[in-house]
Structure 1
Amino acid sequence: MARIVVIGAGMGAMTAAARLAVAGHRVVVHERSHTYGGAVGRVERDGFGFDTGPALLHLPAVYRDLFVKTGKQPLEDLVELSQVEPAVRHVFADGTTTDLPNASRAGVSDALDAALGSGAGALWSAFMNRAREAWDRTRRPLLEEPLWPNWQVLADREPYPSVARRRLLRKERRAATLAEIGAFELDGEPRLCALLEHFALAHGLDPRTAPASAAVLPYLEQTFGSWSVRGGLRALADAVYERCLARRVEFAFGSAVSRIVVKDGRTAGVELADGTVVDADFVVAGVPPRALESMLSDATGPGTGTPAPVRAPGGVPAQSGLPSRLTVLLALRGARPDGTPHRTVLHTPDRADELDRVFGPRPGLPAAPTLAVLRPDDAASRPDADHEAVTLTATVPAGATVTDADVRGLVERAESAVPDLRDRLLWHEVRTPADVEEATGAVGGAVPAPALAAAGGRLLHPANSTAVAGLFAAGGWAHPGGGLPHAGMSGTLVAGLIVEGPEFRGSQ
């Protein structure tokens, strides 16, 4: 039985902890805050409840597998999962509206034909067929296996089978970015392009530079569906935490780790902020890159006099330049009308301005950003049937300063999806990039994106193994990256590497 210290109680870290405890190890989690879940937070006030991080679950199979492998009670016995129907309502800049069904390729095609005109569904379906090829080619190496030692193969090889386009007097062109897929393969239809590009923006990626392999993002959502959890996704974090406790994982909250102790090139434990040293055979760090670098900044082997590296030479660097999220929580009087979509996406009228401001060269909040309006049909989110909880979310630059005028602008925009919103408003709370930074430790409140192939490897994440023996990385800032499914898989991979050793090749 090994002694294992886990730094942080995010979803990836707790997944690793539960699996390692089942394997017979003694696991202690040290969390600097006074709760668990990381980005999966919750605000409760006056009978209202709001998720402050992710609000929908995609690819629930990752967490189903966790509960199957760590106990007798399956996930569905512990949390109430429901497929959201429709999956989403899109309101495009020209006012066109379409409701897309959940996990139905044919249904999405029909809905697009009805809203955008005959042929739109066929264009989208053909694109999704190509996206499926990209998913099939990258699913295992980017989600289910430890990062390949020859990860440069993933960096250099574009898995999306772009369609060649030959134009009069011009050379043949193939889409290299998500935006070019829209221009070349969706015939530049502005609403189809907006639909496609919003998947990149929602994950913190610029569609103008995101590789064509980002086609897997809409494929994943529209194939495996969007799921809500009664009580919000915080209920999923509660269930993972309770499973950890059932497997005798120990938690120390308000227990910040200041240093990872390294002896003879191998982790030997951690030093806490109060100076206490906790011995360990393995350390799992579920923290952002800057925090991990800081914990290792003075971790030196005897006589070496040099900082212990986090990554092996030639390893994948951490993602950088990623944006954050602005979230506004609205407590409303009045019942949620029957038939209201769980999620509505209000597309920006000026996408070029939005992308320039979120990703540069004109940093700042867009005047009218793409806005997700979440109106869950969940009795646990409101004090009674005569009230409603609504959440507004926009992608904004990391570290952005948010003014009262910015918040008022979002609320005014949301009124097109929530009639009489301002008249119904009881109170609101705002979660800015600074709040995200406080909750997660990520610089500027940046949110990690899922790992993607191609693009020279800039959208890969550092491997779960590190150059320091016995030190592993889990969570959204390690392979395979951000998002609930990916964070869960990072914990699975770390547990496999510790239990089975470097020969571990992932789930079968």
Structure 2
Amino acid sequence: MARIAVIGAGMGALAAAARLAVAGHRVAVYERTDTYGGALRRFERDGFSFDTGPGVLPLPAVYRDLFVKTGKEPLEACVELVQVDPSSRHVFADGTAVSLPNASRAGVVAALDEALGAGAGKRWGDFLVRAREAWDRTRRPLLEEPLWPDWQVLAEREPYPAVPHKRLLRTRRAGTLAEVGAWELRDPRLTALLEGYALAQGLDPRTTPASAAVLPYMEHAFGTWYVRGGLRELARAVYERCVARRVEFHFGADVTAVREKDGRVRGIELADGTAAEADFVVAGVAPGVLERLTAGHGVRAEGEVPPQPAASGRLTVLLALRGARPEGTAHRTVVHAPDREAELEALFGTAAPDAEPTVTVLRPGDPRSAPEGHEAVALTTVVPARLDGPYDALAERVIAAAERAVPGLRERLLWQEVITPAGIAEATGAGGGAVPVPALAAAGGRLLHPSNTTRVPGLYAVGGWAHPGGGLPHAGMSGALVAGLIVEGPDFRGSQ
């Protein structure tokens, strides 16, 4: 039985802790804040309750597997999972709107044909077929296996297939998501639909590799889910599973150093001057934090993936509305920006960040989220990596965009609360409130994440800033990979 210290109580760290405890190890989690869950937080006021992190759950199989492997009670016995239908509603720049059924390719094709015109659905459906090919080529190396030592293979190969071009009598391979939209979808609304998946991750579709086609594919193939009571309930369930497996938790425990001796990790030091010995240390922290904990000696092995570009942040505006949610309201609506180029330049270029943004509107209709006869609505948009506030003007633009999806919004408004990147930074420890992106192939490896192993024997990295990157499913997969590497050793080749 090994002693294992876990730094941080984010979802990846919790997933690793539960699996390691079940394997018979003595696991202790040290979290600098007063609660668990990382970005999965909750804001409550006057009987209203909001998720301040992710609002929907893709690929719930990751957490179903976690609960199967760590106890007798399945995930559905611990939380109430609800399939979101429609999966999403989209309001485009020209005022066209479409609701997309959940996990139904035929239903999505029919909905797009009806809303956007004959042929639109087929073009999107054909794209999803190609996206599945990219998914099949990258699923295991990107999500289910430790990062390959020869990760350059993933960096150089574009898994999204080439498409025959009728006029040129040859095939043409899209290099970016924007090229997929321009060459294959050929409709600005379908392009906005596609690029919205990149924007939601804080990625510029003009430079994001075509392999990002796996992002819409995951949603259409495996569905979108909500946890009754909010996704914070998922964090609660994973935390309680850890407690049931006798994982020790120390909240308000600020780790200041990772101790090494004789070329191997030996434990951690805390801000109060105490130390905890450990045979293994699992760090669920941002890269800059991990470098600081190891005294800046560097924990990445030679030949590691290149540093990622600065990740974007998120601005969330929470709205308490008088009046009940209307019958038939979509859980999630994406209001697309009226000027694509202006938005992209404001987010990723040098233009002033004053363009109208793409905004995601979450209206869960959960009776636990608001007093009877009222509604809780959360609005989210991406914030440029270079922007550190103020955010008042942007919050107003976010609300103005949401009015296209929520008629009479301002007349119904009781109060609002703004969650800035600084609030995210406080919850997660990531500088600037940056949100990590999921790992993607191609693009020279700039969207891969560092491996879960480090140059220091016994020290492992877990969570969104390590392989396989950001997002709730990816965090759960990261926990599984780290647990496998510790339990089975360096010969571990991934989950089955």
Correspondence for 1:199: 197
2:368 aligned with 1:369, yes or no? no
* 1-structure distance, mates of 2:53, 2:338: 26
2:254 aligned with 1:247, yes or no? no
Correspondence for 2:152: 152
Q: Give 3-state SS (helix, strand or coil) of 1:207's partner.
A: coil
* Structure 1 residues 126-161: Cα deviation after superposition (integer angstroms, max 9, x where no partner): 111000000001001101111111111101111110
- The question of whether the paired residues in 2 share the 8 Å contact of 1:165 and 1:184 is answered with no
* Structure 1 residues 467-504: Cα deviation after superposition (integer angstroms, max 9, x where no partner): 10000000000000000000110000000000000101
Question: Offset of 1:164 from its aligned partner?
Answer: 4.0
Identity of paired residues, percent?
Answer: 70
Correspondence for 1:327: 316
2:183 aligned with 1:184, yes or no? yes
Tell me which moved more, 399-408 or 277-286: 399-408
The structure 2 residue matched to 1:476, chosen from 454, 464, 482, is 464
- Give, as a single letter, the amino acid of the residue that structure 2 aligns with 1:71: G
* Structure 1 residues 364-411: Cα deviation after superposition (integer angstroms, max 9, x where no partner): 534310011110020110122x10000000011134313323222221
- Give, as a single letter, the amino acid of the residue that structure 1 aligns with 2:328: G
- Give, as a single letter, the amino acid of the residue that structure 1 aligns with 2:216: P
- The question of whether the paired residues in 2 share the 8 Å contact of 1:29 and 1:252 is answered with yes
* Structure 1 residues 275-306: Cα deviation after superposition (integer angstroms, max 9, x where no partner): 211100000000000000000126xxxxxxxx
- Give 1:278-317 correspondences, 5 Å limit: 278-297=276-295, 307=297, 309-317=298-306
- Give, as a single letter, the amino acid of the residue that structure 2 aligns with 1:5: A
- The question of whether the paired residues in 2 share the 8 Å contact of 1:268 and 1:282 is answered with yes
- Give 1:386-405 correspondences, 5 Å limit: 386-398=373-385, 399-405=387-393
- The question of whether the paired residues in 1 share the 8 Å contact of 2:163 and 2:171 is answered with no
* 1-structure distance, mates of 2:422, 2:50: 18
Q: Give 3-state SS (helix, strand or coil) of 1:325's partner.
A: strand
- Give, as a single letter, the amino acid of the residue that structure 1 aligns with 2:174: A
**Runs of at least 5 residues in structure 1 that lack an aligned partner in the other structure:** 299-306
TM-score normalised to structure 1 length: 0.96
Alpha carbons of 1:132 and 1:6: their partners in 2 closer, same or farther (altered >3 Å)? same
- The question of whether the paired residues in 1 share the 8 Å contact of 2:162 and 2:172 is answered with no
Question: Offset of 1:444 from its aligned partner?
Answer: 1.1
- Give 1:51-62 correspondences, 5 Å limit: 51-62=51-62
* Structure 1 residues 178-221: Cα deviation after superposition (integer angstroms, max 9, x where no partner): 0000111112x111111110011111111000001000000001
Correspondence for 1:499: 487
The structure 1 residue matched to 2:333, chosen from 344, 347, 352, is 344
* Structure 1 residues 211-235: Cα deviation after superposition (integer angstroms, max 9, x where no partner): 0100000000111011011111000
* 2-structure distance, mates of 1:353, 1:429: 27
Q: Give 3-state SS (helix, strand or coil) of 1:284's partner.
A: strand
Question: Offset of 1:317 from its aligned partner?
Answer: 3.5
- Give 1:82-97 correspondences, 5 Å limit: 82-97=82-97
- The question of whether the paired residues in 2 share the 8 Å contact of 1:261 and 1:267 is answered with yes
- The question of whether the paired residues in 1 share the 8 Å contact of 2:162 and 2:171 is answered with no
Q: Give 3-state SS (helix, strand or coil) of 2:291's partner.
A: helix
- Give, as a single letter, the amino acid of the residue that structure 1 aligns with 2:358: T
* 2-structure distance, mates of 1:5, 1:56: 30
The structure 1 residue matched to 2:441, chosen from 445, 453, 457, is 453
- The question of whether the paired residues in 1 share the 8 Å contact of 2:283 and 2:462 is answered with yes
- The question of whether the paired residues in 2 share the 8 Å contact of 1:36 and 1:237 is answered with yes
* Structure 1 residues 386-444: Cα deviation after superposition (integer angstroms, max 9, x where no partner): 10000000011134313323222221221221111111111111011111111111111
Q: Give 3-state SS (helix, strand or coil) of 1:160's partner.
A: coil
Correspondence for 2:398: 410
Tell me which moved more, 9-18 or 309-318: 309-318
* 2-structure distance, mates of 1:145, 1:175: 27
TM-score normalised to structure 2 length: 0.98
- The question of whether the paired residues in 2 share the 8 Å contact of 1:323 and 1:359 is answered with no
* 2-structure distance, mates of 1:359, 1:246: 45
- Give 1:82-161 correspondences, 5 Å limit: 82-161=82-161
Q: Give 3-state SS (helix, strand or coil) of 1:381's partner.
A: coil
Q: Give 3-state SS (helix, strand or coil) of 1:259's partner.
A: strand
The structure 2 residue matched to 1:356, chosen from 341, 345, 357, is 345
**Runs of at least 5 residues in structure 2 that lack an aligned partner in the other structure:** none
* Structure 1 residues 26-57: Cα deviation after superposition (integer angstroms, max 9, x where no partner): 00000000010001111011111100000000
Correspondence for 1:272: 270
Q: What do you get for the CA RMSD once the two structures are aligned?
A: 1.3
* 1-structure distance, mates of 2:126, 2:166: 18
Question: Offset of 1:334 from its aligned partner?
Answer: 0.5
| Deviating 4+ runs (over 6 angstroms) | none
Question: Offset of 1:86 from its aligned partner?
Answer: 0.5
Q: Give 3-state SS (helix, strand or coil) of 2:290's partner.
A: helix
- Give, as a single letter, the amino acid of the residue that structure 2 aligns with 1:109: V
Q: How many residues align?
A: 495
